[in-house]
């Protein structure tokens, strides 16, 4: 494959698209598939054939369009009409409406804040390209950044672009991506590795899954650029086996890229070679931690080890290893393509670019969103998210998954960036955002997430193994109305102990939901302990004894 051949593919694909007067895009990501979008796609294709419109209209399966709450979603191009909650029986009416008035009862207003307020960089191709067709990705500018890196930049210049962009790792810690790349690049080891951490395990999170399902080549391109920058020839994508569609699309993408010479030996006729393999995880949350993930790839039990040495110096099989998550790699192609300064102009002074969130819970517009860093929680929840349904009032939002904190209404106007969330006792995490209304008991919420952390603890270190168990037990006693004020004090002491003595990030951040609810909703703990009642009516307490519903 040469740059000229890449241009020919783009021209051919664009010409093929122009042959059709109408193009119907059907979301075939996991969310819409669960609502039967595959059957909708088949029904639309059949209707086109039955009406003799094969030469005028084309149906194409695409990735996530974002508004998961209203799927299946169908978009008609070039009119930019979107339909929501589409069923098989709607296919005839949709096809008959082509060239005429849209089907009003199905129409989804694309001018609504959910779409208008987003800034899409990572998700720019989602809903546009067929994830199973590499030519579609190439026609959308795919692999241009890899060509540019290999033919115009030295490895050091690629790293400089990433540094200047201000991109921070989107896996949760927010470490500067360029610094991590530079550390691996400086090593003179004979063998280096690049790993994509796609082990997304937070409850309610589906950011990485959606990107892999919708735009797998983008992640591969980002990895290939990273491999060139740090002088690595082998890469692995560690993805959990619970993501069958993501795995399927990744396998197809790797095969197609290898066939065209975009992965493999001597890419674009250069001396750079890069091979990618998949490794499937069994669903252990702790394997999202870098050293545990490495152990799992090596075939060992997925448990963390003390650091240093860090993986950048001594990682996979003892070799320097670059690990970034899906969203981080997906940001690389547009940074190289558009320039570091373009990316750095988006976001805040210390948190550049955009962030992808899985907006879930008690909010009208649940789905996948991408917003600039610095946007407020109020804008996300009440404008993009459409607010809290059923006339209930907002109570809290948890960011950062089971290791994040619960943020109350008084901080809705705080900007969403790494530093602000940390000040509030929460974290950015990989991008989960769960909204809670006034029907939620915050003590019960803390108990739920502590149960998750307890069950997912690998058990290697005592503070996490025993501490999360004891914290969950104390929270259970509080919810049941059996605890004393002294036990609430003990709970706080345990949080401090587990946070400061656990081996890895799981234990170190597990107390966040407890500490944040104690900080902002202490009155609810007081009600359970002193008054023996649950203000939200979630915990069934009667005469100091738990009532089984």
pLDDT above 70 (res 545)? no
pLDDT above 70 (res 544)? no
Number of domain units in the chain: 4
| pTM score, whole prediction | 0.95
Residue 187 lies in a domain: yes
pLDDT at 171: 85
The answer to whether residues 436 and 407 touch, using CB atoms and an 8 Å cutoff, is no
pLDDT at 3: 82
Percent of the chain residues past pLDDT 70, beyond the cut: 99
pLDDT above 70 (res 346)? yes
- Say if residue 180 is in the same domain as residue 219: yes
pLDDT at 454: 94
Tell me what the mean pLDDT of segment 41-62 comes to.
95
- Say if residue 477 is in the same domain as residue 490: yes
Q: Which has the closest alpha carbon to 380: 395, 366, 401?
A: 366
pLDDT at 549: 39
- Say if residue 331 is in the same domain as residue 246: yes
Residue 76 lies in a domain: yes
Tell me what the mean pLDDT of segment 20-26 comes to.
96
Residue 4 lies in a domain: no
- Say if residue 431 is in the same domain as residue 458: no
- Say if residue 326 is in the same domain as residue 208: yes
Q: Which of 54-58, 201-205, 340-344 has the lowest mean pLDDT?
A: 201-205
How far is the C-alpha of 505 from the C-alpha of 456, rounded, in Å?
12
- Say if residue 218 is in the same domain as residue 257: yes
Show which of 402, 437, 472 is a domain's final residue. 437
pLDDT at 548: 40
- Say if residue 153 is in the same domain as residue 243: yes
- Say if residue 316 is in the same domain as residue 374: no
Q: What is the pLDDT of residues 372-412, one digit of tens each?
A: 999 999 999 999 999 999 999 999 999 988 889 999 999 99
* Residue 542 pLDDT grade (very low, low, confident, very high; cuts 50, 70, 90): low
Q: Which has the closest alpha carbon to 435: 471, 501, 384, 487?
A: 384
- Say if residue 425 is in the same domain as residue 465: no
Show which of 319, 344, 369 is a domain's final residue. 344
- Say if residue 242 is in the same domain as residue 337: yes
Residue 75 lies in a domain: yes
pLDDT above 90 (res 173)? no
Q: What is the pLDDT of residues 234-260, one digit of tens each?
A: 999 999 999 999 999 999 999 999 999
The angle subtended at Cα 75 by Cα 360 and Cα 358, nearest 5°, is 15
> pLDDT higher for 337 or 205?
337
pLDDT above 50 (res 77)? yes
Instruction: Tell me whether residue 407 is exposed, middle or buried, using C-beta atoms within 10 angstroms of its C-beta: 0 to 12, 13 to 18, 19 or more.
Output: buried
Residue 266 lies in a domain: yes
Structural domain range at position 400: 354-437
SS3 158: helix
């Amino acid at each position: 494959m040469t740059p000229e051949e890449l241009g020919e593919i783009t021209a051919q694909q664009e010409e093929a698209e122009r042959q059709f007067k109408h193009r119907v895009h059907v979301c075939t990501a996991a969310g819409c598939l669960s609502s039967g979008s595959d059957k909708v796609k088949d029904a639309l294709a059949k209707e086109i054939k039955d009406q003799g419109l094969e030469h005028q209209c084309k149906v194409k399966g695409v990735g996530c369009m974002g508004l998961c709450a209203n799927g299946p979603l169908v978009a008609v191009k070039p009119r930019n009409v979107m339909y929501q909650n589409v069923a098989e029986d709607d296919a005839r009416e949709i096809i008959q409406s082509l060239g005429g008035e849209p089907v009003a009862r199905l129409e989804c207003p694309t001018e609504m804040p959910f779409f208008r307020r987003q800034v899409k960089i990572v998700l720019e191709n989602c809903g546009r390209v067929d994830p199973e067709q590499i030519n579609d990705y190439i026609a959308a500018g795919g692999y241009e950044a890899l060509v540019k890196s290999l033919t115009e930049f030295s490895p050091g210049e690629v790293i400089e672009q990433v540094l200047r962009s201000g991109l921070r790792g989107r896996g949760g810690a927010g470490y500067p991506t360029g610094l991590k790349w530079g550390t691996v690049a400086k090593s003179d080891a004979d063998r280096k590795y690049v790993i994509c951490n796609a082990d997304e395990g937070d409850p309610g999170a589906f950011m990485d899954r959606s990107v892999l399902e919708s735009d797998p080549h983008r992640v591969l391109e980002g990895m290939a650029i990273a491999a060139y920058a740090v002088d690595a020839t082998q890469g692995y994508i560690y993805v959990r086996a619970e993501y069958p569609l993501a795995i399927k699309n990744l396998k197809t993408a790797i095969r197609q890229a290898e066939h065209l010479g975009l992965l493999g030996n001597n890419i674009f006729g250069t001396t750079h070679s890069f091979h990618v393999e998949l490794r499937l995880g069994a669903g252990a949350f702790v394997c999202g931690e870098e050293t545990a993930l490495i152990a799992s790839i090596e075939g060992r039990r997925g448990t963390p080890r003390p650091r240093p040495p860090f993986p950048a110096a001594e990682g996979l099989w003892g070799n320097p290893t670059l690990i970034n998550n899906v969203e981080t790699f997906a940001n690389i192609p547009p940074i190289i393509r558009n320039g570091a300064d373009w990316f750095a102009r988006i976001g805040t002074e210390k948190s550049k670019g955009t962030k992808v969130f899985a907006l879930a819970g008690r909010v009208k517009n649940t789905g996948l969103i991408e917003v600039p860093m610095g946007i407020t929680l109020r804008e996300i929840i009440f404008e993009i998210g459409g607010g809290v349904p059923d006339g209930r009032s907002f109570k809290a939002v948890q960011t950062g998954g089971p290791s994040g904190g619960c943020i109350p209404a008084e901080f809705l106007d705080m900007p969403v960036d790494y530093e602000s969330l940390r000040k509030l006792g929460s974290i950015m995490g990989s991008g989960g955002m769960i909204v809670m209304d006034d029907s939620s008991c915050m003590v019960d919420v803390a108990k739920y997430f502590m149960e998750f952390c307890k069950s997912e603890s690998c058990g290697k270190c005592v503070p996490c193994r025993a501490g999360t168990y004891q914290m969950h037990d104390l929270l259970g006693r509080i919810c049941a109305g059996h605890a004393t004020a002294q036990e609430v004090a003990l709970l706080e002491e345990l949080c401090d102990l587990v946070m400061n003595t656990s081996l890895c990030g799981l234990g170190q951040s597990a107390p966040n939901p407890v500490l944040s609810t104690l900080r902002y909703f202490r009155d609810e703990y007081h009600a359970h302990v002193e008054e023996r009642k649950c203000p939200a009516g979630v915990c069934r307490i009667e005469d100091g004894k738990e009532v089984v519903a």
